[in-house]
Amino acid sequence: MRVLVVSQYFWPEVFRVNEIVSELRARGHEVTVLTGRPNYPGGSLFDDYVADPAAFAQYHGAEVIRLPLRPRGQGSLRLLLNYWSFVFWGCVLGPWRLRGRRFDAIFCFETSPITSALPAVLLRRLKGAPLLLWVLDLWPDTLSAVGMVRSERGLNAVGALVRFIYKRCDLILAQSKGFFPAIERWSQTPEKTRYFPQWGEATFDAGLDDVVEAPELAPHAGCFKLMFAGNLGDAQDFPALLDAAEATRHRPDLHWLIVGDGRQAAWIREQIEARGLQHTVFMLGRHPLERMPEFFKGADALIVSLRAEPIFAMTIPGKVSAYLSAGRPILAMIDGEGAQVVREAGAGLVAPAGDGAQLARLALQMATLPPEARADMAAKARAYGQREFDRATLITQLERLLAEARS
């Protein structure tokens, strides 16, 4: 099958679309990727890419066509320019770079922003190939939840754009069953929606038994380590997380470790200082995905959090499937679908979204559990992840969906 993948984000940026491409290639499909220049999450072009762009023109045998989009930089205006530059170059230069080529299907990886699907919509028309859109972030709901768009008129305008895109998709893949009502509200064609969840990244396939703990954790030896790993953004509700850390400051042996980077990083550093949490909350910076097993190995529990918003209650956070695959106890501060997965798996303890006080109580409870109880949570987490979010099974499902869209 000849598959065109359209994604604003792609390797060496770390997203699951990378594994979709490598898995499809391993199964013998011909894959072409239309994407931008790598700049996420730091906001500037990757140094290795700038030094040798040609080294990033192939990925596991797939041709990678890169558009000259504007890097994210810092601030809302530059982020908006980044979003629209992908749309502009995708619609103007994309068809030219792909001229004369035929595809059996187009797959669009749609995390924020929804505008990144517009080049795929145009290419669907030009190429006469069916379009499958994998919805990982619901617009306009997310914009409202994080306060990026507050006016009803603005949200309705974004909704009209979403309706335009959804109506031109042949299949819409939802990462959570909770997404179905919101998707169908705009698509008005419920028969096009399919459930297609996220999986744990390949780096966690072998588990953590033979992994050596990250040396960065040595200063925290002997402490109970609660680790948040991933994007540091508005949606992750760091005000409530820091409330929990503040409520446990009387326990100097309880260390809250933050591994990652994002738009909230500077604010978090300021708050650690302002709240006097320098001895119990530590920012360890961003590290490659390949090193995450080393960090997870040393964590006594892994934290996942989302703000208390209806949209986030519909979501199964990507890090939940990663945490499950790694096989570590989970300390969650989330609602809805994600909370249900953690509870159903027996993989950890769950506080309501936004409830820092309850998260603090559960952190103390986790720290006092016998080691064998936490080991049982870890084993249940890994077993559930392998059963419900197995990558090979899901890629086989994607192959079936690609074939279905063609028929």
Q: pLDDT per residue over 345-368, tens digit each?
A: 999 999 999 999 999 999 999 999
pLDDT in the model for residue 315 = 86
Mean confidence (pLDDT) of the chain: 93
pLDDT of the residue at 219: 96
> What pLDDT sits at residue 149?
65
Q: Which residue has the tokens 């933050």?
A: 258
- Indicate the residue type of 223: C
Q: What angle do CA 216, 221, 223 make, to 5 degrees?
A: 120
Average pLDDT rounded to a whole number, residues 235-248: 96
Give me the pLDDT at residue 227, please.
98
pLDDT of residue 158: 85
Average pLDDT over residues 95-115: 95
Instruction: Verify cis geometry, omega within 30 degrees of 0, for the bond prior to 317.
Output: no
Give the helix ranges, DSSP H, for 133-219.
141-145, 152-167, 180-187
Contact 272, 281 (CB under 8 A): yes
For residue range 48-78, list pLDDT tens digits in order: 999 999 999 999 999 999 999 999 888 888 8
DSSP state of 64: E
Binned at pLDDT 50, 70 and 90, residue 265 comes out as very high
Task: Please give the pLDDT value at position 147.
Answer: 66
- Percentage of the chain exceeding pLDDT 70: 98
**CA 167 to chain CA centroid, nearest Å:** 25
Question: What single-letter DSSP state applies at residue 248?
Answer: T
**Looking at the predicted structure, is the pLDDT value of residue 145 above 70?**
no
* 155, pLDDT greater than 80: no
pLDDT at 263: 83
Instruction: Give every CB contact of residue 372 below 8 A, 6+ residues apart in sequence.
Output: none
Q: Which amino acid is at 46?
A: F
Task: Place 80 in a pLDDT band, splitting at 50, 70 and 90.
Answer: confident
The region, left, alpha or beta by phi > 0 then psi within -120 to 50, assigned to residue 4 is beta
Residue from 333, 330, 334, 332 nearest 311 by CA: 334
Q: Which domains does the chain have, with CATH numbers?
A: 2-199+390-406 (3.40.50.2000), 202-388 (3.40.50.2000)
Reported pTM? 0.82
What gap in Å lies between CA 145 and CA 163, rounded to an integer?
19
Phi/psi for 35 (5° steps) reads -150, -175
Q: What is the pLDDT of residues 363-397, one digit of tens each?
A: 999 999 999 999 999 999 999 999 989 899 999 99
Interval 178-182 mean pLDDT: 90
Length of the chain: 407
Distance, in Å, from the CA atom of 379 to the CA atom of 303, rounded to the nearest integer, reads 17
Report helix, strand or coil for 332.
strand
Nearest to 148 by CA among 79, 87, 86: 79
E-only strand ranges, 101-259: 105-110, 131-135, 171-174, 193-195, 224-229, 254-259
Sequential DSSP letters for 296-319: HHH-SEEEEE--S-HHHHT---HH
Q: With a cut of 70, say whether residue 104 has pLDDT above it.
A: yes
Average pLDDT over residues 306-316: 89
Q: What is the pLDDT of residue 346?
A: 97
Tens digits of residue pLDDT in 17-50: 999 999 999 999 999 999 999 998 888 999 999 9
Count other C-beta atoms under 10 Å from residue 245's C-beta. 25
pLDDT tops 70 at residue 190: yes
- Between 71-80, 149-158, 246-255, the lowest mean confidence (pLDDT) is in 149-158
Residue range 148-157: average pLDDT? 74
Beta bridge partners of 1: none
User: pLDDT band at residue 402, thresholds of 50, 70 and 90?
Assistant: very high
Q: Give 3-state DSSP helix, strand, coil % of the chain, rounded to 5.
A: 50, 15, 35
